[in-house]
């Protein structure tokens, strides 16, 4: 594979959703696969997308008094180093705003006080650059429903080694993982085909390629999310996506097949999170125009969520 696949490749086969900011280049004219991608894509026309979106609504759990704290999701965000503290904060706070009960951040020591100072609502563990990062993390894994790996990780070698260990430990425990920050060259002539093939090359890991339209593939189907957002893109928007995806993946995997009608839970979760992020962007842009930032978008999560999923 030509592109840098990042840690995602290490966990192929588990319940993993990889987020990309750009797609992989073509690696060979796989015509049969291409044809299949096209026909599947065409099958998901606007009308079908409406019924698929109905299935997304089915994964949203009802708010009931019977549930105890933790059932709507305990989400872990792995990321945050000296240089980057905003990304893990945005991902974790988004997970809470979307409906998780608890959000943990596992970050490098120096990042912890900074992330704590942004919010009293997050539980912050300064373990990622310690000598026992993987062991420390393994203590928490049984209490987590999903992991979001990547926001604000930086490129420090030892940190990334720990992350690889954490991904393997999560896979061993069947904990679903959202991996952020894969990237590679775009093949603009065939974006659907390339996202499909990337998913297959990673062992049918669900892949979300962010862009003008978001493309989502599980190696079999390609869904397009072209829900209206705005022309404003701000740094941190992808972290809102990864945090909400962490929660929705957990919900989707809890949902029985009678409600998902045979669709892949991870595809539905990805469609839900992409739509929500775009709706937040749309609403924030209505109010703030050019000055829209991720903080403005996060403030819209509640109403955007109701508009999309509860009407």
Any contact of residue 220 with ligand NAG (CB under 6 A)? yes
DSSP 120-169: TTSEEE--TTSTTHHHHHHHHGGG-SEEEE-TT--S-HHHHHHHHHHHHH
Contacting range for ligand NAG; rule: CB under 6 A; set: 50-58, 107-115, 166-174, 226-234:
50-58
Q: Which residues ranging from 147 to 206 are in contact with ligand NAG (CB under 6 A)?
A: 200, 203-204
Any contact of residue 219 with ligand NAG (CB under 6 A)? yes
Closer by beta carbon to ligand NAG, 31 or else 231: 31
Contacting range for ligand NAG; rule: CB under 6 A; set: 51-59, 75-83, 87-95, 298-306:
51-59
Q: Which residues ranging from 80 to 99 are in contact with ligand NAG (CB under 6 A)?
A: none
Burial class (CB in 10 A: 0-12, 13-18, 19+), 144: buried
Closer by beta carbon to ligand NAG, 203 or else 211: 203
Q: Of 152, 303, 166, whose CA–CA distance to 239 is shortest?
A: 152
Any contact of residue 35 with ligand NAG (CB under 6 A)? no
Any contact of residue 255 with ligand NAG (CB under 6 A)? no
Closer by beta carbon to ligand NAG, 204 or else 293: 204
Closer by beta carbon to ligand NAG, 183 or else 200: 200
CB 62 within 8 A of CB 211: no
Q: Of 176, 179, 173, whose CA–CA distance to 142 is shortest?
A: 173
9, 184, 229, 239 from 305: Cα distances, Å: 32, 31, 14, 17
Q: How far is the CB of 39 from ligand NAG (least distance, A)?
A: 13
As a whole number of angstroms, the distance between CA 220 and CA 200 comes to 8
Any contact of residue 55 with ligand NAG (CB under 6 A)? yes
The size of the interface with ligand NAG (CB under 6 A), counted in residues, is 10
The binding site for ligand NAG (CB under 6 A) comprises: 51, 54-55, 200, 203-204, 219-220, 261-262
């Amino acid at each position: 594979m030509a592109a840098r696949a990042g840690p995602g490749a290490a966990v192929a086969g588990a319940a993993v959703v990889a987020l990309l900011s750009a797609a992989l280049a073509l690696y060979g004219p796989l015509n049969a696969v291409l044809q299949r991608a096209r026909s599947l894509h065409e099958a998901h026309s606007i009308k079908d997308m409406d019924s698929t979106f109905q299935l997304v609504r089915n994964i949203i759990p009802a708010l009931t008094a019977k549930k105890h704290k933790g059932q709507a999701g305990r989400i872990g965000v792995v990321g945050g180093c000296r240089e980057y503290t905003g990304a893990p904060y945005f991902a974790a706070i988004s997970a809470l705003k979307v409906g998780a009960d608890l959000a943990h951040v596992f970050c490098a020591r120096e990042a912890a006080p900074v992330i704590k100072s942004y919010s009293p609502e997050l539980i912050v563990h300064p373990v990622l650059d310690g000598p026992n990062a993987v062991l420390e993390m393994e203590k928490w894994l049984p209490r987590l429903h999903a992991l979001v790996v990547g926001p604000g990780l930086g490129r420090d070698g030892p940190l990334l080694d720990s992350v690889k260990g954490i991904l393997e430990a999560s896979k061993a425990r069947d904990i679903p993982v959202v991996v952020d920050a894969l990237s590679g060259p775009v093949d603009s002539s065939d974006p659907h085909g390339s996202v499909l093939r990337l998913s297959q090359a990673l062992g049918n890991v669900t892949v979300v390629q962010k862009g003008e339209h978001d493309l989502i593939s599980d190696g079999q189907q390609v869904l397009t999310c072209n829900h209206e957002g705005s022309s404003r893109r701000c740094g941190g928007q992808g972290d809102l996506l990864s945090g909400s995806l962490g929660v929705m993946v957990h919900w989707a995997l809890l949902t029985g097949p009678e409600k998902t009608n045979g669709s892949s839970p991870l595809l539905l979760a990805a469609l839900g999170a992409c739509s929500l992020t775009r709706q937040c962007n749309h609403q924030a842009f209505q109010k703030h125009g050019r000055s829209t930032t991720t903080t403005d978008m996060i403030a819209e999560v509640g109403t955007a969520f109701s508009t999309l999923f509860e009407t």
